[in-house]
């Protein structure tokens, strides 16, 4: 386990804060991977929570985007109050959401985090090319990195932001559903899915119905 100091803690979307922390010497990861974060507070001893790295190996810090759920007094509420100079502990890397080829990425809320790291890495290598992204949020204010994502996909028309609790010009309305998948999925696409459990379950079942094999559907198992 590595103990690292927080460099910055800034709000980036509704209830979402970006934490930049020190990078241990020689630290490397595969974009999309996550770690368990532990904090030295009595009530959370031995209670590590998983979060995805959103930075790149070329950055000299590690970054996490951490969403807090106001209805819960849990780990993220406490972590959001941590200041630069405070320390957190990061455990071993893990995760099955890594890039395996061109596909359609389906994200809900903070489920975008593994895809951020993957897209940033693809941009560094030349661009997001033919990959697509359907990104669902409740409202515009909930969208993590709206401007950066728009820019990443500026040469690609397979980008849809959909809002389930706000009607807004230029945005789809409602959740990601089978019709959206049918419209935006291309033959040969991998399907990358990340979000709440029910989101992953529903959309993976639709992907299998559409003839995708287990190898083509990538989510945290």
Ligand X SMILES: Cc1cc2nc3c(=O)[nH]c(=O)nc-3n(C[C@H](O)[C@H](O)[C@H](O)COP(=O)(O)OP(=O)(O)OC[C@H]3O[C@@H](n4cnc5c(N)ncnc54)[C@H](O)[C@@H]3O)c2cc1C
CB 176 within 8 A of CB 134: yes
Of 1, 11, 45, 50, which lies in the binding site for ligand X, with binding defined by CB under 6 A?
A: 50
Nearer to ligand X, 114 or 158 (CB): 114
Shortest distance (Å) from residue 95 CB to ligand X:
6
81 lines the binding site for ligand X (CB under 6 A): no
Place of tokens 């190996």: 57
Rg (CA), the chain: 17
CA–CA separation, 179 and 177 (whole Å): 5
CA-angle at 38, arms to 32 and 43, nearest 5°: 140
Shortest distance (Å) from residue 62 CB to ligand X:
12
20 lines the binding site for ligand X (CB under 6 A): no
Q: State whether the Cα torsion 89-149-107-189 is positive or negative.
A: negative
66 lines the binding site for ligand X (CB under 6 A): yes
Total interface residues for ligand X by CB under 6 A: 22
95 lines the binding site for ligand X (CB under 6 A): yes
CB 37 within 8 A of CB 19: no
105 lines the binding site for ligand X (CB under 6 A): no
Query: Given the rule CB under 6 A, which residues bind ligand X?
Result: 34, 49-52, 64-67, 69, 71-72, 74-77, 95, 109-110, 113, 196, 220
């Amino acid at each position: 386990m590595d103990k690292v100091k927080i460099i910055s803690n800034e709000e980036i979307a509704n209830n979402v804060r970006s934490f930049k922390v020190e990078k241990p010497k020689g630290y490397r990861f595969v974009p999309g991977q996550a770690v368990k974060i532990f904090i030295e507070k009595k009530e959370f001893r031995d209670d590590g929570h998983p979060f995805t790295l959103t930075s790149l190996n070329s950055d000299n810090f590690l970054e996490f985007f951490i969403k807090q759920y106001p209805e819960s007094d849990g780990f993220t509420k406490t972590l959001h109050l941590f200041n630069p100079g405070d320390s957190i502990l990061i455990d071993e890397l893990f995760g099955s959401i890594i890039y395996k080829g061109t596909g359609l990425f389906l994200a809900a809320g903070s489920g975008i985090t593994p895809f951020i790291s993957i897209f940033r890495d693809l941009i560094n290598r030349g661009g997001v090319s033919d990959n697509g992204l359907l990104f669902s949020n409740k409202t515009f204010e909930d969208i993590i990195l709206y401007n950066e994502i728009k820019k990443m996909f500026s040469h690609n028309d397979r980008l849809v932001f959909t809002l389930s609790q706000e009607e807004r010009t230029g945005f789809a309305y409602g959740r990601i559903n089978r019709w959206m998948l049918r419209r935006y999925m291309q033959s040969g696409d991998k399907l990358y899915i990340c979000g709440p459990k029910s989101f992953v379950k529903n959309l993976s079942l639709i992907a299998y119905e559409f003839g995708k094999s287990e190898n083509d559907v990538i989510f945290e198992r």
